[in-house]
Chain A
Amino acid sequence: MRTLFSSSVGKKLIMSLAGLFLITFLVVHLGINLLLFMDSTEPFNIAAHFMATNLVIKVFEIVLFGIFFLHMIYGLILSVQNMLARPVGYRKANHSQKSFFSKYMFHTAIILLIFLGLHLLDFYIKSKFLGGADTIIIDGEEYHDLATLVIERFQIGWVVIIYVIALFGLGFHLHHGFQSAFQTLGLNHPVYTPIIKFLGVLYSIVVTLGFMAIPVLIYFLK
């Protein structure tokens, strides 16, 4: 096993499994975010509270950070090795890749990494450690008013613009990443692969627009 993960293919296996985990996580994340569009802020606050306090989810949070780390560290190692594999480049670039965004995985990853830092600082660290969210009472229990924190944050134009740019980065990353992960896992089939590719495009569009809707609509409507 040790040697599996030291091989190029083994490292890709870790990246693809981690990537698929992150893809699943994003669905949950988006689902909770969309609660912000409910008439009251309560459902979102209750869901956020559950995610922040439930013991199982807390364990999951550590797993999630670990998986992000694995994905990033192996992505970095592989990308650096790839750059070293062609020390002298071509004068004329090759454009025959089948998957357009595959060429920009490292670039979109950098956007995502920077965004991740900002995003965590914005909400996660602010509410958890800096007391950035007020306390409200729902049914006699104390909750952080995360919804108001989010809504206030997205009143600021440049914050919204940064989120929109970063989400384009995410969409492009996933456009290649989704189907690539299945190929890395060894799944390539005349019938299923086109379906996977279609689902990947659908997923990246839905997730990107879904997440984008939150800052944009809050900015214009609330």
Chain B
Amino acid sequence: MDLTLKIWRQENRTAKGRFETYLVRGISPDSSFFEMLDVLNQQLVDKFEMPVCFDHDCREGICGACGLYINGRPHGPDSAVTTCQLHMRKFKDGDTITIEPWRAKPFPIIRDLVVDRTAFDKIIEAGGYISVNTGGVPDGNAIPIPKKNADVAMDAASCIGCGACVAACKNASAMLFVSAKVSQYAMLPQGKVEAKERVKKMIAEMDELGFGNCTNTGACEAECPKEISLSHIARLNRELYAAKIL
């Protein structure tokens, strides 16, 4: 496959940034999107140019490090996959592919396509944990948990914190991420102890960091590689009302 790539290049946080156009030839449809970018970067290195920076780690869809905004969609044209799981067979020979970084005020660009997602860590630090007194390992079935609740908690816990929800949302809202992180504890007895404080602090932090407000548009749910559902956002709302009012 021969492809034209329009890629956002930005030297550092404060540089202005611009789109650059590159050509890559002979890409196998079976290669991954990142392998295609690796080919491009090798070309650039061979010409003594700076390679395009992009984030990735596991390259198997589990770590949440990767994330490119490809042709108007976070993680590209496939559904329920991360960028690292995207394959070139989703594109056609001769295509022009526009590659942009996540755009949101709380996610400043570090370089090229790499954004700083410390904001998510700050939200987690605000309350996305349970405090446990360490001791011996408790028996796995000492606290019975209904299967239904365990399933919902597990679904929520599959969020990898990639930020595609923020990137997709027209308001750059982090509600899907926060709702997943609140839900994964809200459904479990261990999480109930700190539930009220958790939801209040995490939402306060999210607002503080400058993420937008949810307008139930649903782009996050459509683009989330882990298919986190809007029902978690409804739960997040309920948790907050309960924490504030009751």
List the interface of chain A (C-beta within 8 A of B): 1, 3-4, 7-13, 78, 81-82, 84-99, 102-103, 105, 176, 179-180, 183-189
With CB as the reference atom, state the residue of chain A lying closest to B70.
Answer: A92
8 pairs across A/B with beta carbons < 8 Å? A4-B245, A11-B213, A81-B213, A94-B72, A98-B221, A105-B215, A180-B216, A184-B237
Question: Measured between C-beta atoms, what is the minimum distance from A117 to chain B in Å?
Answer: 24
Please pick, from A180, A188, A189, the residue contacting B215 in the complex, using a CB distance under 8 A. A180
Complex CA gap A95/B217 in Å reads 11
Q: Do A86 and B206 touch across chains, with their CB atoms under 8 A apart?
A: no
Please pick, from A10, A89, A96, the residue contacting B73 in the complex, using a CB distance under 8 A. A96
Please pick, from B98, B218, B223, B233, the residue contacting A91 in the complex, using a CB distance under 8 A. B98
Set of chain B residues within 8 Å of A90, measured between Cβ atoms: 69, 72, 100, 103
Q: Do B213 and A78 touch across chains, with their CB atoms under 8 A apart?
A: yes
- Using known A-B contacts A9-B203, A85-B171, A88-B103, determine if residue A184 contacts B211 with beta carbons closer than 8 Å: no
- Using known A-B contacts A13-B241, A84-B105, A186-B237, determine if residue A94 contacts B210 with beta carbons closer than 8 Å: no
Complex CA gap A7/B203 in Å reads 7
Q: Do B19 and A187 touch across chains, with their CB atoms under 8 A apart?
A: no
B210-243 CB contact bits vs A (8 Å, 1 = yes)?
1111111111011100000011011111101100
Complex CA gap A96/B169 in Å reads 9
Q: Do B237 and A103 touch across chains, with their CB atoms under 8 A apart?
A: no
A-B interface pairs (CB < 8 A), number: 137
List the interface of chain B (C-beta within 8 A of A): 6, 19, 69, 71-74, 98, 100, 103-106, 168, 170-173, 200, 203-204, 206-207, 210-219, 221-223, 230-231, 233-238, 240-241, 244-245
Complex CA gap A90/B169 in Å reads 12
Question: Measured between C-beta atoms, what is the minimum distance from A79 to chain B in Å?
Answer: 9
- Using known A-B contacts A82-B171, A186-B241, determine if residue A94 contacts B236 with beta carbons closer than 8 Å: no
Q: Do A85 and B173 touch across chains, with their CB atoms under 8 A apart?
A: yes
Complex CA gap A4/B204 in Å reads 10
Q: Do A99 and B217 touch across chains, with their CB atoms under 8 A apart?
A: yes
Q: Do B233 and A183 touch across chains, with their CB atoms under 8 A apart?
A: yes
Question: Measured between C-beta atoms, what is the minimum distance from B90 to chain A in Å?
Answer: 15
With CB as the reference atom, state the residue of chain B lying closest to A102.
Answer: B217
Complex CA gap A94/B222 in Å reads 11
Known pairs A96-B219, A183-B234. 5 more at Cβ < 8 A? A3-B200, A4-B244, A94-B168, A94-B170, A188-B235
Q: Do A98 and B100 touch across chains, with their CB atoms under 8 A apart?
A: no
Set of chain B residues within 8 Å of A86, measured between Cβ atoms: 103-105, 171-172, 212
Please pick, from B69, B100, B170, B231, the residue contacting A188 in the complex, using a CB distance under 8 A. B231
Set of chain B residues within 8 Å of A183, measured between Cβ atoms: 216, 230, 233-234, 237
Please pick, from B168, B210, B237, the residue contacting A9 in the complex, using a CB distance under 8 A. B237
Set of chain A residues within 8 Å of B106, measured between Cβ atoms: 85
- Using known A-B contacts A8-B206, A86-B103, determine if residue A98 contacts B217 with beta carbons closer than 8 Å: yes
Complex CA gap A138/B216 in Å reads 50
Q: Do A85 and B216 touch across chains, with their CB atoms under 8 A apart?
A: no
Complex CA gap A121/B72 in Å reads 44
- Using known A-B contacts A91-B100, A98-B217, A180-B216, determine if residue A9 contacts B236 with beta carbons closer than 8 Å: yes
Q: Do B216 and A82 touch across chains, with their CB atoms under 8 A apart?
A: no
Q: Do A82 and B170 touch across chains, with their CB atoms under 8 A apart?
A: yes
Set of chain B residues within 8 Å of A9, measured between Cβ atoms: 203, 214, 236-237, 240
Please pick, from A85, A103, A184, A189, the residue contacting B212 in the complex, using a CB distance under 8 A. A85
Please pick, from A82, A97, A184, the residue contacting B219 in the complex, using a CB distance under 8 A. A97
Complex CA gap A217/B238 in Å reads 45
Could you say which of B6, B236, B237 has the most chain A C-beta atoms within 10 Å of its C-beta? B237
